[in-house]
Amino acid sequence: LWLADQWALDRQRAQLERLVGLSADRTAETIHRAAHDGMLRNDAEGVRRIIENIGAQEGIDRVRIYNKEGRVRVSSRRAEEGTLVDKGSSECSACHAGVQPKAGLDREDRIRMLQATDGSRVLGIITPIYNEPACTSCHVHPASQRVLGVLDVRLSMAQADAALRASERQLQYGLFLTGLAVLGASFLLLWGFVLRPVKRLRRALERAGAGDLSARVPVRSADEMGELARSWNDTTGELQRAREELSLMNRTLEERVQEKTHQLEQTHHRMVVVEKMASLGKLAAVVAHEINNPLAGIRTYARVLRRQFGAEAGAPSAEQARETDRILEMVDSEAGRCGDIVRNLLAFSRDTGARFDEAELAPVIERCRLLLHHQAEMLGVALETRVADELPKLVCDQAQVQQMLLALAMNALEATPEGGRVTIGARPDPEGIALFVADTGSGIPAEHLDRIFEPFFTTKEAGKGVGLGLAVVYGIVNRHHGRIDVESEPGRGTTFTARLPLAQPQAESNASSEPARRSAPLPDATTGGAA
Amino acid sequence: MNGEASRKLLRILIVDDEAIVRDSLGAWFRQDGHHVELAPNAKDALRQTAAGRYDLAFLDIKMPGMDGLELQARLAEADPELTIVLMTAYASVDTAVKAMKAGAYDYIVKPFDPDDLSLLVSARPRRARCAPRTRGCARAWRARPRRRCCSAARPRCGTSSSWWRASPRRTRRC
């Protein structure tokens, strides 16, 4: 637009200059003709008047005539009359540029543009005054002289330039307004067809990005933007459907995981109970031995005393009284021993419903020793306990910890030959408390070490064990968020070390009783043990 | 022990690691007038039988070190005429059968009725039955028909010896 504008302006300027040139030519011709008669008559005053009158007209800068030598003969500005015009000046250069002055000139050659002292432009046109027959008849001009002088007319370009400037300004305004209009129209078009749909699309994209796939972009046109919106809608629709399906599947999966977890908990609980029953079965022989021995003694002594005092009605002698006292003391202590054994057995068999409480470990370990010491004695194995002094209390399910220790110790006793040693103990550990059962038995072959905690893995002959002992031990340690390590050297012995943290996570101690309550159809361990 | 009493009074050895069983049985049989010696384990029992003869021995099966069954074999080897009664606190048919096959006179389960033991002692086979004290006699004794329970020890079948009821062969014979 700016270039077109400039081109138009240039054309206009050229046109205007041509018109002004034409007008100058006419004016010069008019002056020439008007002054012709005066010049013929050599009426210098008349010619001057004509020139002054014309030169006084608005738009005419000056009019002057100078002779062949360049001396100004007549001028609208009287002051310069008689002065000599330099032939090198712009007025003269048209003819006198070369060595020989030109005789005839085109109009374009005669016209020149000058700069006035005030900065405005002035258009000058020179018209040669040729020697005519009329001139030679009365004048002194020789016939050979072709050009007698020059009429120099200068027109001010001020008005034309002003018009040109106004025109330029108008064009610039026009240009500015047109530009503005084009810009506005372009923006409106861009807004309507591109920006607004893109903005809607972007908003929909943002909502989709934030997770809201229900956002749809209105389809308002059949063009590319419309096509884009439609395909976007289709895509989000597909995505939404896929996501709904996925979340449905997720929910189903979660439910199934929960269900399986629950089943697993129940199975674990059952496994713990089954293992306990198996342990109880093994313990029964030991316990029967432990109880029946004192009972046999007590019964026999009771009969001894009855026979003694029933037959001999007389007062017992001092020696008899002492003997009786000794017997009764023995009976008393043995009856107490029976009570202890039964109490320990019950404490072990009772299903406490998986309760986590703060507990001292020394009594738990002592109970294990009491339950097993007779068996150890029978097997000729030394059973020792080693509990560190100032052992901190442990938040645990006491019954399960005892079951764990008992299972490990029973295994250890079975694996230890006569003369060996089994140690049950506890010591502080960086992770909490380390409970350990060590034996000097046959050890576990390296190829079995990886599998000993698997359920139903057993190396015992059929009917001697179900292979749940260590699996249950592992489960119990796991439930206490601890870990169990086993070090074994065949022929040298085995040490199981369960490291349990002192405290359980809050959620566990609160929720721990839940699975136990839910698993209703479990055999009652207490009555099962008694039966 | 004089000749008159020798028919009635016996030398009895009681081997049990449990002091109360050992002592109470000792007191009981002493009240009956028998001569009783006690041993807390198999080793002492073997030493005592080597030092002197006994008519009757009560052996506990479960003992640390050498158990009652092994001791029974060693005692029978040393003195084939010794009457051996095995005692156990935990009955199992297996051990009972093993004991009887090895020639035990009886097998009793704790806690027992002491009167049954007295009956058992008084009804024990007479040594006179095997006049020639030979190994052959001992073998014949071991292979004798088992009908004792139907006479003196009969009441035990229904009372303390539950293992007896558990053995169909015994029940049939009774």
Minimum Cα–Cα distance from B18: chain A residue: A293
Instruction: Report the C-alpha gap between B2 and A273 in whole angstroms.
Output: 63
Q: Which residues contact A334 (CB under 8 A, 6 or more apart)?
A: A294, A297, A298, B20
A313 phi and psi angles, rounded to 5 deg: -70, -20
Global pTM reads 0.48
Residue B18 tokens, joined:
């449990």
Instruction: Report the C-alpha gap between A172 and A183 in whole angstroms.
Output: 16
Task: Judge whether A433 and A499 are in contact, CB under 8 Å.
Answer: yes
Of B20, B21, B64, the CB nearest to A377: B64
Task: Judge whether A17 and A164 are in contact, CB under 8 Å.
Answer: no
Of A285, A292, A308, the CB nearest to B31: A308
Residue A161 tokens, joined:
């330039």
> ipTM beyond 0.90?
no
B-interface mutation test, from A282, A295, A304, A333, most B Cβ less than 10 A away: A304
Return the H-helix or E-strand segment holding B159: none
Please judge whether A300 and B109 are an interchain contact, meaning their C-beta atoms are less than 8 angstroms apart. Answer: no
B51 touches chain A (CB under 8 A): no
A289 touches chain B (CB under 8 A): yes
Q: Which residues contact A405 (CB under 8 A, 6 or more apart)?
A: A364, A365, A368, A424, A435, A437
pLDDT, one tens digit per residue, over A472-508 is: 888 888 888 899 998 888 888 899 999 999 887 765 5
Return the H-helix or E-strand segment holding B102: none
A377 touches chain B (CB under 8 A): yes
Q: How far is A527 from chain B (nearest CA, A)?
A: 21
For A58-61, which contacts have Cβ atoms below 8 Å and span 24 or more sequence positions?
A59/A155, A59/A156, A59/A158, A59/A159, A60/A27, A60/A153, A60/A154, A60/A155, A60/A156, A61/A116, A61/A122, A61/A154, A61/A155, A61/A156
Q: How far is A530 from chain B (nearest CA, A)?
A: 16
Instruction: Report the C-alpha gap between A348 and A279 in whole angstroms.
Output: 10
Residue B53 tokens, joined:
């003869």
Of A293, A307, A377, the CB nearest to B89: A293
Contacts of A293 in chain B (CB under 8 A): 16, 18, 20-21, 89, 110
Please judge whether B21 and A296 are an interchain contact, meaning their C-beta atoms are less than 8 angstroms apart. Answer: yes
**What pLDDT does B157 receive?**
35
Tell which residue, B108, B48, B100, B7, has the closest CA to residue A299: B108
Angle (CA) A66 A72 A76, round 5°:
100
**What pLDDT does A475 receive?**
83
Q: Is the pLDDT of residue B162 over 50?
A: no
Cβ-Cβ contacts under 8 Å between A and B: the total is 79
Q: DSSP string covering A117-141, please?
A: TTS-EEEEEEEEEE--HHHHHHSS-
pLDDT, one tens digit per residue, over A428-470 is: 988 889 999 999 988 888 878 777 877 767 776 655 566 677 8
Contacts of A330 in chain B (CB under 8 A): 19-20, 23
Q: H helices within A116-223, ranges in order?
A: 133-138, 158-190, 196-209
Contacts of A294 in chain B (CB under 8 A): 18, 20
Residues of chain A with pLDDT under 70: 90-91, 94, 97-104, 136-140, 311-313, 349-354, 456, 460-467, 506-531
For A266-271, which contacts have Cβ atoms below 8 Å and span 24 or more sequence positions?
A266/A515, A266/A518, A266/A519, A268/A475, A268/A479, A269/A354, A269/A515, A269/A516, A269/A519, A269/A522, A270/A519, A270/A522, A271/A455, A271/A468, A271/A471, A271/A472, A271/A475
Contacts of A301 in chain B (CB under 8 A): 20, 24, 27
Of B20, B27, B90, the CB nearest to A334: B20
A-interface mutation test, from B90, B115, B117, B159, most A Cβ less than 10 A away: B90
B94 touches chain A (CB under 8 A): no
Quick check: helix, strand or coil at residue A2? helix
Please judge whether B89 and A327 are an interchain contact, meaning their C-beta atoms are less than 8 angstroms apart. Answer: no
Return the H-helix or E-strand segment holding A67: strand A60-67
Q: Which residues contact A451 (CB under 8 A, 6 or more apart)?
A: A457
Question: Which residues 10-29 in chain B show a CB within 8 A of chain A?
Answer: 16-21, 23-25, 27-28
Instruction: Report the C-alpha gap between A191 and A174 in whole angstroms.
Output: 25
Question: Which residues 329-368 in chain A show a CB within 8 A of chain B?
Answer: 330-331, 334
**What pLDDT does A260 receive?**
92
Tell which residue, B12, B101, B125, B126, has the closest CA to residue B59: B12
Task: Judge whether A421 and A381 are in contact, CB under 8 Å.
Answer: yes
**What pLDDT does A353 receive?**
62
Please judge whether B27 and A300 are an interchain contact, meaning their C-beta atoms are less than 8 angstroms apart. Answer: yes
Question: Which residues 61-80 in chain B show a CB within 8 A of chain A?
Answer: 62-65
Residue A195 tokens, joined:
């920006």
Instruction: Report the C-alpha gap between A67 and A85 in whole angstroms.
Output: 10
**What pLDDT does B16 receive?**
93
pLDDT, one tens digit per residue, over B100-159 is: 888 889 999 888 999 989 988 888 765 544 433 444 545 555 555 444 433 333 333 333
Question: Which residues 158-217 in chain A show a CB within 8 A of chain B?
Answer: none
Please judge whether A304 and B28 are an interchain contact, meaning their C-beta atoms are less than 8 angstroms apart. Answer: yes
The average pLDDT across B63-72 equals: 88
pLDDT, one tens digit per residue, over A309-346 is: 876 557 778 888 888 888 898 899 889 888 877 877 77
Q: How far is B154 from chain A (nearest CA, A)?
A: 20
